[in-house]
Chain A
Amino acid sequence: MEALKNKIDYLLGNALVVIMGFMVINVLWQVFTRFILADPSSFTDELARFLMIWLGVLGAAYVSGKNLHVAIDVIPMRSTSSRRRRMNIMVDIMIILFAFAAFVIGGSRLVYISIVLGQHSPSLQIPMAFVYVVIPISGLLIVFFKSLKLNNDSNI
C-alpha cells in the first residue's frame, strides 16, 4: 500500500507541476497576443480558470496525502496519548466521510447533471463535465490517503 501511495504522490506531484507551468504559459500567451499580436486570444481566460480549479482540487488531494493542511493542535498536544490517538482517528474519519460524501457523491452528481444538461463552456466549447470530473477523482484520492493514515493512526 505504501508503495502505491508513493507512486500516486509522484504522479500527482508531476500533474501539479505541469498544470502550474501550463497556467503561467497560458496567461503569458494572453499578454503576448494582446500586446504583440494585437489580436487577443479568446480562450486563455477560460482555460486559466479551469486549470485553476484542477490545481486547487487536485492539489487538495496532494496536500492531504502529505498532511500539510494547517491545523490547530493546541488541545491534542496537551491531551494524554490515548486521547490524542482517539482525536486523530476522529479527524481522519471526518475527512474520509466528507471527501466521500461531498467530493465523490456530490461531485459525481455534479458531473452527471452537467452531462444530462449538455453544459459546454462558452468559449472553448468543452463539456463542463471535464472540468468537474476532477472533484470525484480528488475525493477518491483523499479517501485513499486518509484511510491509510487512519490505519496507521489506529495501529499506534
Chain B
Amino acid sequence: MMEYIPILVLILSFIYLLSIGTPVAWSIAISSTLTMMVSIPMIPALTTVSQRMATGLDSFALLAIPFFVLSGELMNRGGIAHRLIAFAKTIVGAFPGGLALINVMAAMLMGAIAGSAMASASAMGSILGPEMEKEGYSKEFGVAVNITSATTGLIIPPSNVLIVYSLASGGVSIAALFLAGYLPGILTGLFLMIVAVIWAKKKNYPLGKRSSLKEVFKTFWEALPSLLLLVVVIGGIVSGIFTATEASAIAVLYTLILGFIYKEINVKSLPKILLDSSSTTAIVMLLIAASMSMSWVMSYENIPQSISDTLLGISDNRIVILLIINLILLFVGIFMDMTPAVLIFTPIFLPVVTKLGMDPTHFGIIMVLNLCIGLCTPPVGSVLFVGVGVAKTTIQKVIKPLLPLFLAMVVALFLVTYIPSLTLWLPKLFGY
C-alpha cells in the first residue's frame, strides 16, 4: 500500500490544482514537489525540484525553440506569410473550396519554414479569414480549416515539438525526426484538403479563378526567397552542416534580413518583436522545466516501469498496444498541452514500444501527430484558442465543421501508426 502513496499524491494534487484553474505549468511543478516531499525530507526535496527545473533547460538543442519562435514572429511581421498565401492561391485557388485549400497549403508551406503552429494559425486566420467571409464561406468552417491545418506545421519540419521529443527520448536524431515528419505532415494536409473540397461542394462555395502559368511563376518567384529558407535550414540540418540550433539562429538572421529588404521591419520594431518572442518562449520553457522535474519524480518513483509492466501484461501484440497508447494520448492531448505531454509520456511509453521492436523515430511522429489533434480540442487546445480568437467567434460554433476534419486527422494518424514506411522511408533514404 505504502508504495502507492506518492503516485496518489501526484495524480490527486495535479487534478485538484488544474481544476481550480492553476496554470498548467505551475500545477505540474507543485504536484511534483508535493510528491518529492512525501518521499524524501523537505529541504533536499525543494533543492532537487529547483535543480531539476534549472538543469531541465540546460540543453543546447532546446535553444532552437526560442529561435524558431523568433523567426516565426519575424516572418509574420515581415510580409513572408502574405507571399506564401499569394503563391498557394495560384496553385490550389481554382478548386472547389479554393480559399480553404489555400489555407491548408499556405499553412503547410509556413510549417515548412517556421517551427510553431501558433504563428501560422494567427497569420492565416487574420489574412484569409476575412477573405473567406467575403466569398460566403461560413466563418466557423474557416476557423476549423485554419486550426487543423496549422497543426501540420508541427509535423512538417522544422518543428519545435520534435526537438522536445528528441530531448525526452534521450537523443533520437533531430535530423531523422525532421525527415520522418514530411510524409505524415503532407498526408495529413492532403486529407484535410479532401474534406474541405467535399464540404465546399456540399455548401456550393464559389470556385476561385484559374491562374495563368505566368501568375504561378510570378508568385512563385516572389515567394522563392522565403522558400529558400527551407533549403538553408533543413538542408543544413540533414546534411549535417549545422545543428538544429545553429540552423534556427540562421533562420532568425535570414528572416530578419528579408523583413528589412521588404521594408516591413525596422530597427525600432525589433525590441517589441524580441519581447513578444521571449515571453512566448518563457511560457514554453516553464512548461519544459516543470515537466522535466515531473518526469524525474516519476522515474524516481518507478512509475514508468509499473505502467510498462501493466501495458505489456495486457497484451504483447504490437497493434493492440499501439491502439491503447494512441487512445491514451488522444485523451491526454485533450487536457494537456503538447510540450509537457511529450516530456512526461515519452519516458513512459517509449520503453514499451521499443521493447516491441518499434523505431523511436516512428514513435515520435505518432506521438506528435496524436497530440496535434488535442491542440484543436477544448479545453486546452492552444491553437484552437488562437484560431477562434483571431476570427472573433466561439468554440461551440466551431465544433460542427471541426468534426469531419478531426476524423481526417484520426485516419491519417492510424495510417501513420500502422504503416511504418510512411515515416521511415525518407530518413532511410538519407541514411539515418
B-binding residues in A (CB < 8 A): 13, 16-17, 19-21, 23-24, 27-28, 30-31, 45, 48-50, 52-53, 55-60, 62-63, 66, 68-76, 87-88, 90-91, 94-95, 98, 101-103, 105-107, 109-110, 113, 131-132, 135
Contacts A27-B67, A27-B245, A66-B279: A17 and B335 contacting too (C-beta < 8 A)?
no
The answer to whether A27 and B63 touch across the interface, beta carbons within 8 angstroms, is: yes
Say yes or no: is B431 at the interface (Cβ < 8 Å to chain A).
Answer: no
13 pairs of residues in contact across A and B, judged by CB atoms under 8 Å: A20-B281, A23-B67, A49-B58, A49-B63, A55-B66, A56-B282, A59-B279, A59-B285, A59-B286, A72-B335, A95-B22, A98-B30, A102-B29
Say yes or no: is B62 at the interface (Cβ < 8 Å to chain A).
Answer: yes
CB proximity to A under 8 Å, residues B367-393: 378-380, 382
Say yes or no: is B249 at the interface (Cβ < 8 Å to chain A).
Answer: yes
Q: Which residues of B contact A98 (CB under 8 A)?
A: 26, 29-30, 33
* B21 in complex: contacting residue of A53, A63, A87, CB < 8 Å: A87
The interface centre, meaning the residue of B22, B50, B379 with most chain A CB atoms within 10 A of its CB, is: B50
Shortest Cβ gap from B386 to chain A (Å): 11
A interface SS class: helix
Q: Using a Cβ–Cβ cut-off of 8 Å, how many residues does chain B contribute to the interface with A?
A: 57
Shortest Cβ gap from B388 to chain A (Å): 15
A57: nearest chain-B partner, CB-CB: B54
* B279 in complex: contacting residue of A16, A74, A94, CB < 8 Å: A16
Shortest Cβ gap from B37 to chain A (Å): 9
Q: Which residues of A contact B29 (CB under 8 A)?
A: 98, 102
The answer to whether A49 and B59 touch across the interface, beta carbons within 8 angstroms, is: yes
Q: Which residues of A contact B54 (CB under 8 A)?
A: 53, 57, 110, 131-132, 135
The answer to whether A95 and B285 touch across the interface, beta carbons within 8 angstroms, is: no
The answer to whether A48 and B245 touch across the interface, beta carbons within 8 angstroms, is: yes
The interface centre, meaning the residue of A24, A57, A66, A76 with most chain B CB atoms within 10 A of its CB, is: A24
